[in-house]
Amino acid sequence: MKNKILSKADLLVLGFIFVVVFAGFLSYQYYHLEQYSLNLEKELLQIKGNLEAKSMELQNTILDRDTLAQKLEEEKSRMDELAVQVADITSAVGLIEKIQATDEELLQKYSRVYFLNENYVPESLTQIDQAYLYNPDKGQYLYTKVMQFLQILLQAAAADGVDLKIISAYRSFGEQASLKYSYKVTYGSGANKFSADQGYSEHQLGTTVDFTNSEIGSTMAGFDKTNTYEWLRQNAFKYGFALSYPKGNTYYYFEPWHWRFVGTRLAERLHSEGKYFYDLDQRDINTYIVSLFD
């Protein structure tokens, strides 16, 4: 029995030692794991805290961005409003300048109580192409800004094969006074100075034309029976011309040859309503000054 290497008691002791050592090892491992887990938890908490802080920061950034976007939107609409106001003011100024730049005499009704001043001279006159004159030897002049309208009218008449000539356009006060007419118009015994001035005033403006054709010439009699007059009645309004003194009017003698430039807008209205320039109220007519040469 003594030869046995280890006795039972030895084995027990060894077993016990092993158990104790193993338990110690396990406790040690457990302690480490616990420490590790605690550290991990601490780290996680820290990360969570950081993430929360970042999230808050991000939210604030988003809020700031939204606020900025809103402010930008407000500024933009304020700028748009300003732009509209500036455009309104600019167009109002443009209109005022246009009205001021246009001679209001050009749309004035003349009567026994209101006639053109003898010193009135048009702003600018241009000579009418001789090809359109009944009497090419005597130069005729027209208000410069009206010339393009008259030219288109004359070209349209020519294109329609209408025999249309100009016998008189601008006449100065002096010309009227010395009665140097290239043709004579005979009025009835009721003619008086006021009436003569009234019809004459429109010529002194430089915007009025007396038409004729080769058949009627300077006699003017029977012009209202011609194709030329019929063509003017149907077309002159398109180029801004209106018959000042129609048949049966109460203002002046019937002058089928006498056409005054009143602008295309007013001429078109008069034509479509079957009215004449002297039928309208002066205040109504004045609203067309701004668009006279449009």
Site residues (CB under 5 A) for Zn ion? 210, 258
| Residue sitting closest to Zn ion (CB) | 258
Residue 233 CB, shortest distance to Zn ion, in Å, is: 16
Residue with tokens 């002159």: 236
Residue 209 CB, shortest distance to Zn ion, in Å, is: 8
Cα–Cα distance, 180 to 187 (Å, whole number):
17
Count CA atoms closer than 13 A to 213's CA, side-chain side.
20
* Closer residue to Zn ion (CB): 157 or 166: 166
Residue 245 CB, shortest distance to Zn ion, in Å, is: 9
Are 167 and 134 contacting, i.e. CB atoms less than 8 angstroms apart? yes
Q: Are strands 141-143 and 125-127 parallel, antiparallel or unpaired?
A: antiparallel
* Closer residue to Zn ion (CB): 169 or 289: 169
Count CA atoms closer than 13 A to 229's CA, side-chain side.
19
Q: Are strands 165-168 and 125-127 parallel, antiparallel or unpaired?
A: unpaired
Residue 264 CB, shortest distance to Zn ion, in Å, is: 21
Residue 238 CB, shortest distance to Zn ion, in Å, is: 21
For 101, the token pair is: 């730049």
Q: Are strands 141-143 and 165-168 parallel, antiparallel or unpaired?
A: unpaired
* Closer residue to Zn ion (CB): 237 or 252: 252
> C-alpha 66: how far from its chain's center?
38
Residue 99 CB, shortest distance to Zn ion, in Å, is: 27
Q: How many CB atoms lie within 10 A of CB 169?
A: 24
Are 277 and 262 contacting, i.e. CB atoms less than 8 angstroms apart? yes
* Closer residue to Zn ion (CB): 165 or 258: 258
Residue 244 CB, shortest distance to Zn ion, in Å, is: 8
* Closer residue to Zn ion (CB): 103 or 210: 210
* Closer residue to Zn ion (CB): 172 or 286: 172
Are 258 and 208 contacting, i.e. CB atoms less than 8 angstroms apart? yes
* Closer residue to Zn ion (CB): 197 or 210: 210
DSSP letter for each residue of 200-267: HHHHHHT-EEEEE-TTTTTS-TTGGGSHHHHHHHHHGGGGTEEESS-TT-SSS---TTEEEE--HHHH
Residue 290 CB, shortest distance to Zn ion, in Å, is: 26
Are 276 and 202 contacting, i.e. CB atoms less than 8 angstroms apart? no
* Closer residue to Zn ion (CB): 200 or 290: 200
